[in-house]
Chains A and B, each alone.
Chain A
């Protein structure tokens, strides 16, 4: 018997427990949703802002891998106006209960383990989403659609290039968008309609399936691999909701770099009208010195430019000293590029130092150009560069 704190029509479960190992060193010390993006955001800002803009006031954030920075960043949710009297943001790490102590074994299991949290709001619908995608989306339109078609589960989908389709959950639908088949990461995709990892479930239906899935020892307790295929097999009403805006699952360092660069192409991805909320440091404005020069780049508060910057994203508190050149790169918070240093086609994580005259990365237009990623706190000097490339 659960106690209902306050009835809500829908609440969100934000899955933020994964590492995102394909982000290499960027997620050695922090969870993927906490990775810096676009100079002044962290990835989780997009999911949280979308929730708030869609009228959701209760968000449970499931965390597990390296949660320290993520927990600190989310705080009480005040930066997204989620410090409300009822609901707001709740951080939900794995916990022990009478009779069991368990890590989250999969995305579905993390929701299963937090049933009490969800039940306390007695929601009709549960929105499940990931904390590491870059997009802006009004989930309330998706919910309207979910109700209109009478679905038990609605999955947001987007068309992807066929050659990329094997990275995603791919579905076939009929002309009414009813989902006929669903394959998680198929080797030979039949279609290019990809799951965005955003689901709306009728909560009472989902909770049954979670319960059954938990008893299945073969299951990996994952939404895409287990829950969705099972629901489909058992004849639940499942519909695809087509989304045609910008959406990027920044799963790899290359896609993270590309999504950052997309901010330069399409002016802010039309983000002006959506206003992504975030926790900003509150530093003095950026300064460009008489020796500085900057082209086709994004800059944010607290950065100081004495050198040359082109086609780059510069985060808060970054200093580019005189004579330094930064091209085609993503420079994260509090990094310093010293005098006459050269940075090409790289991601420099927070607190990196490129020492005087050092080289980082290889030029984008060079042969076999490959993105270089420097881990948090790396000190780059020429000798190190040489050994790395030896």
Chain B
């Protein structure tokens, strides 16, 4: 009886060029995942099997990652994933005509579905939640909209994309704001809303395509005076990624077992992702590994400290990798040294080279670069 719909935001200006060529929700997380895996897994784990995804620019890697949705058990006769990409409606206009866009297509799609309610989510916020408890609260409360949020301290580099709710004592949202400079715990929106389909159509009328930021900060914010919006608190781990710094910071949080256990509840709510059947990772005789999360398909012959290593990475003898995130297919040749570096996929660091950033400002190496 619930249909899922996801909105995505384009990369903010702070993202590196390398990240901009794919949509934010296709960004990698914790060695083997993409941000979108969490949203899709949350839906599936909440028994929501009909999901529409409104896409933004550079969605190709996202679509090839999700495919038919087989790994999320979404390749089925009823339901499944439907994409709404931006498109050229009229050759005189660049993308999307005046009154026709992916959002209007998605509205037609949800109108045609038999489900009465929608669960509207951001496709790139990382958390692990069963929406059914929030749905239950929504139905009991009689609210028009239920907004899911979490209480969390944020770092200055997360401010730009954070949406903060003002919440009354009895749990109503009365304001939507940007994050103040504050070290207190804030009520941060998870970009997840439950409402009747009709409210969504009302709120988005006249929009061609809208990201979650616009939905929260403008459309919902303007409607607060006439809608009863209930705040529902999520108490687990969450990651808000929007830039190289936040990408680095949140990935590194996965080295802490408390965060990992909070996010990956393998027995109850598994996080699904596309599977590549990579070989197990081989550690050589001289491998030295200390506090590292390492995906399958790697060959580790050198030293790895405080790092996240994605699939099919090779670290050769004598190489030292510290405080770094190496994405798929990266090769670190003999005796190369990396500290506080993020490599995109397919990067090669040649012998004897060294690269050093800082944990507060990691060096980003674009994909397929050879250093």
Question: Which residues of A are interface residues toward B (Cβ below 8 A)?
Answer: 38-40, 78-79, 263-264, 267-268, 271-272, 275-278, 280, 282-290, 292-302, 313, 317
Contact = CB atoms under 8 A, between A and B. Distances in A.
Interface stretch (B177-185, B228-236, B266-274, B333-341): B266-274
B166 interface: no
Contact of A296 (B30, B273, B284, B296): B284
Contacts of A302: 266
B279 interface: yes
B250 to A, nearest CB: 14
Contact of B282 (A264, A275, A285): A264
B294 interface: yes
A282 B273 CA distance: 7
15 contacts: A272-B279, A276-B279, A277-B277, A278-B277, A285-B31, A285-B293, A285-B295, A286-B296, A288-B289, A288-B291, A290-B290, A295-B287, A297-B282, A297-B283, A301-B32
A84 to B, nearest CB: 14
A80 B299 CA distance: 25
Given A290-B291, A301-B296, A284 B285 contact: no
A352 B286 CA distance: 29
Contact of A282 (B260, B272, B309): B272
Nearest to A297: B283
Contacts of A313: 280
B4 to A, nearest CB: 20
B277 A275 contact: yes
B275 to A, nearest CB: 6
Contacts of B219: none
Given A282-B273, A296-B284, A287 B292 contact: yes
How many residues of B sit at the interface, in one of the four size bands? 35 or more
Interface string B5-20: 0000000000000000
B277 A284 contact: no
Contacts of B294: 285-288, 299
Interface in B126-166: none
Interface centre among A40, A267, A271, A284 (most CB of B within 10 A): A284
A294 B300 CA distance: 10
A282 B289 contact: no
Contacts of B100: none
B291 A39 contact: no
Nearest to B285: A296
Nearest to A298: B280
Contacts of A268: 279, 282
